[in-house]
Chains A and B, each alone.
Chain A
Amino acid sequence: MKQYAIRRLLQMIPTIIGVSVLLFIVFAMAPGNFIDSNPTISKERAAELKAIHGLDKPLVERYFTWAENTIKGDLGLSLQHKQPVTTVLNRYMWNSFLIAAIVLVLSWTIAILVGVFSAVRQHSIYDGLITFLVFALMSLPSFFVGLYAIKLFAIDLKWTPVGGMYTSGSNATGLARIWDLVEHLMLPIIVLTSISVGGLTRYFRTSMLDVVRQDFIRTARAKGLKERTVIFKHALRNALLPAITLLGIELPGLFSGAMITEKIFNWPGIGRINLDAINARDYFLLMGFTMFLALLTMLGNLLADLLYRVADPRVRMK
């Protein structure tokens, strides 16, 4: 087990180097740069600024400087925000995390309940209806749903605010401020939850169906246990086991922010900041954040595999 983890960690090193090289090249290929696109900066000042940020050096040299600083833990300075990248990331990431965490809890709860219900009543009308709904949810184009939700709930019905995190200009405190936040959270959370709940429900339904067909469930029923106990204690526990790998895969999603949804709802999260950074060619912010996500993705996958080995001894044998 330990050996396996170490081998996987070592394997990550060439991958992460590859990711960084690829990203650096792609970002360097992108037309324009932050300094030249600002018309208020004079030529001399632009050259000076480029020298400060090292943008005048050849690509290879820039890469190695960046890599060296990054290993030391210094991600550089965001050109847009005039602050260290880590500060910027830290400021906006938690806004995204807030949404992502709520969405995660909501969508898992709904998906488990609906998935179990749908599996227990396989081939019933409910099951068919749920299956159809699940497919519909899985096929939603996020930006279109976001736009439509704003149009419907915020503009036509005026139930929720149009976007943002707090009502601008409001200086409410205490409970009123929290309620303001909740109102603003409503739409993005509904949209993101409905997008992610579809696939998860399907997953739990299949996994549950696999379990209820097994012999130990028949034994449990034969023992005379209540159906509720059979389903929720014996079946669900086993159906949830493979899902722990999903948790590992969801890890980067907690911190990545939802780019399009945040843009549409004007949410001050890391996804929107990332989109702005792409458009403004804020290289250090882009590199820092993308590398962070790539690393999280790899760690998440590793975590998923390790958890699966812990949960399922049959995998460990191989």
Chain B
Amino acid sequence: MSQTVAESTAQDSKVQTIKPASPWRLAFKQLLKNKFAVGGLVVLVLMFLICFIGPFFSPYSLETMNIRNGNKPPNAAHWLGTDNLGRDILLRVMLAGRVSLLVGLVAMMISVAIGSTLGALAGYYRGWVDSIIMRLADIMMSIPSLPLLIILGAVLSDMKVPPDKRIYVVMFLLGFMSWPSLARLVRGQILMLREQEFMQAAEVLGLRDRRKIFRHLLPNTIPIIIVVATLMVAGAILQESVLSYLGLGVVPPTPSWGNMITAANNLIDFQKRPWLWVPPGVCIFFTVIAINVIGDGLRDVLDPKMKR
């Protein structure tokens, strides 16, 4: 590349060396101007670091139980106290954070994969494909999601999924529940994009449908997808916590922020040992705020037209 540039005229080389700022870089720079979004990013990065790297520095492990050292309030050795089995709460909160953050992220990816594909298909083909997909979305959107999630959670419990594998099922469940709104959004965008001139060019080139949809249409909807996807992570984390709180999501011994709060269902723990259930709740709260703030900042930057 540099060889050809050197050989060409000076003017040409000048054109070549000016690096146009990519829209992504511009968007990122603008995002950094938003104080809230930067704060959210810092909190989120910290939360990730603490949850994923923190446990390596903990002197305790989940296997070392010491019932005599159980239910101790926060002290110098156990910063957040211990639970009834003498396990360190701080360590459990960090490990639970790994689970909750992962569930949020994977559920979002599943939902984005389903939602954007179906939305794109509906928008591109229109006609009966559109009707079927959108009616399906209507159906999913008019069913109240919590009862459905609870029932499906109960179905899962019955399928004897081993507790350590259950988080995958929860991820899938949450991902599957939230695709319709994204599908609608993507469909609307594709309907608009497919009438534009570059698509006529794609038509003239004789590209296959698959290439037109996934290489030419969908990439143009990425800014909107990113905004929605960010907010979806927050939603999935909240939903996971509700489900786990009801005992139908991630189940012990795997800790998650939601199932740690179930300690509050025990009257004594609820009244006398708030260190068991307050820290995970506070973690959920800060993580979700951080993600929401980032999502909102992204919306301003990537898609100024779309406002709530």
Q: Which residues of A contact B (CB under 8 A)?
A: 14-15, 18-19, 22-23, 26-27, 29-32, 131-132, 135-136, 138-144, 147-148, 151, 155, 199, 202-203, 206, 210, 252, 256, 259-260, 274-275, 278, 286, 290, 293-295, 297-298, 301
Contacts and interface: CB of A to CB of B under 8 A. Distances in A.
16 contacts: A18-B138, A19-B139, A19-B142, A22-B139, A22-B143, A26-B152, A29-B151, A30-B154, A139-B238, A148-B278, A148-B281, A151-B271, A278-B150, A278-B151, A290-B144, A294-B143
Given A30-B155, A260-B242, A202 B308 contact: yes
Contact of A144 (B135, B143, B154, B281): B281
Interface string B140-156: 01111011101110110
B228 interface: no
B136 A18 contact: yes
Interface stretch (B44-52, B68-76, B282-290): B282-290
A21 to B, nearest CB: 9
B293 A31 contact: no
Contacts of A203: 308
B19 to A, nearest CB: 33
B172 interface: no
Contacts of A131: 36
Contacts of A142: 242
Contact of A206 (B136, B293, B308): B308
A259 B147 contact: yes
B274 A141 contact: no
B148 A132 contact: no
A15 B147 contact: no
Interface string B208-252: 000000000000000000000000001000100110010000000
A15 B242 contact: no
Given A26-B151, A29-B155, A143-B242, A259 B146 contact: yes
B33 interface: no
Nearest to B280: A144
Contacts of A256: 144
Give the dominant DSSP class at B's interface: helix
A228 B154 CA distance: 56
Contact of B285 (A22, A140, A301): A140
Contacts of B238: 139, 141
Interface string B27-39: 0000000001000
B292 interface: yes
Contacts of A139: 234, 238, 285, 288-289, 292
Contacts of B155: 26, 29-31
B193 interface: no
A274 to B, nearest CB: 6
Nearest to A202: B308
A26 B261 CA distance: 28
Contacts of B151: 26-27, 29-30, 278
B25 interface: no
A138 B292 contact: yes
Contacts of A274: 147
B270 interface: yes
B83 interface: no
B277 interface: yes
Contacts of A18: 135-136, 138-139
A250 to B, nearest CB: 14
